[in-house]
Amino acid sequence: MKLDRTVSIAPMMARTDRHFRYLARLITRHALLYTEMITTGALLRGDTARYLAHDDAEHPLALQLGGCDPGDLARSARLAEAAGFDEVNLNIGCPSDRVQAARFGACLMAEPELVADCVAAMRAAVKLPVTVKTRTGIDRQDSYENLSRFITTVAAASCGTFIIHARKAWLRGLSPKENRDLPPLRYDVVHSLKREFPELEIILNGGVTSLDQAHGELMHVDGVMLGREAYQNPFCLAEVDRRFYGDSAAPRTREQVLSQFIAYVERQLMHGAPLSQIAPHMMGIFHGQMGARQWRGCLSRLVNERRDDIRDIDDARSRMDSMNKVSAEEAMECSSPL
């Protein structure tokens, strides 16, 4: 099955774990989801089952790997395939000091031949598509010519899909958070890549905050990846299926999503998952709605106090329902003729 990458949700550390992915899937049936980056060392020598755990409802689902050893990456890709993932993605974009010390992430942009060897090893090991997520450059190595050579070298190893974070990364002097904001966005560079490599699938990532913006970018690239906006305001995804996939089914309402997600949370609690680890992913459900601040405050207290009683969330939802009911009644009164 060919994956449709028209819209995808970016891999985000401490964000796109299995619980958030389940929530996102309740809102969009079609967008491609990604795991957090998992290092080959953690996967091969750590709690493999926990790192690969996911719900069948999450598909289509890609596993993002961090590493630089072709053999380890090949073994990790086999584990991903056996676990049922739909894609394996190689992280060539993370600029953190720890990642650099382990010689993977964005620093590998300086070693395109090694990246090509890694991709070739994974491609030989599995039937899954192997993709690469990278930046437009690193430090002073940020010319379009350097980026073009990188893409050419890695594509020759049978990589047909590149996700381009449209910012370069500074490996020294900026934190990972600053690297997500301070280097300027260069959508023009990503557009140029698609023109130069029309046979490749080019996905744009970075700074996309609305579906209208995503729609405009699809005139220049094959797909758009949403990151922080999708996490902070997950209901920005509510119209994805209709607008980009031609799905005529009515999107679920916030109330429907919350009810189904609470049922999921109850199942997770029965299996020992702490509510304090799941609740933060619910913060943005009422983003932009009346009472959103109170909702976030309730969840924050639940997390800080490490409470594992699902009734706390039910109580918060009841208060939200009451506020929305009052708001709707006030709106009707204001619109009624004298």
Catalytic residues: 94
Q: Phi first, then psi: what are they for 8, rounded to 5°?
A: -140, 160
Alpha-carbon span 166 to 204, nearest angstrom: 7
* Sign of CA pseudo-dihedral 150, 102, 51, 263: negative
The neighbouring-strand residues paired with 8 are: 32, 225
Helix (H, G, I), strand (E, B) or coil at 338: coil
The strand pair at 7-9 and 223-226 is best described as parallel
Q: Of the candidates 128, 105, 108, which has an alpha carbon nearest to the alpha carbon of residue 116?
A: 108
Helix (H, G, I), strand (E, B) or coil at 64: strand
| Whether 62 contacts 35, CB under 8 Å | yes
Alpha-carbon span 98 to 101, nearest angstrom: 5
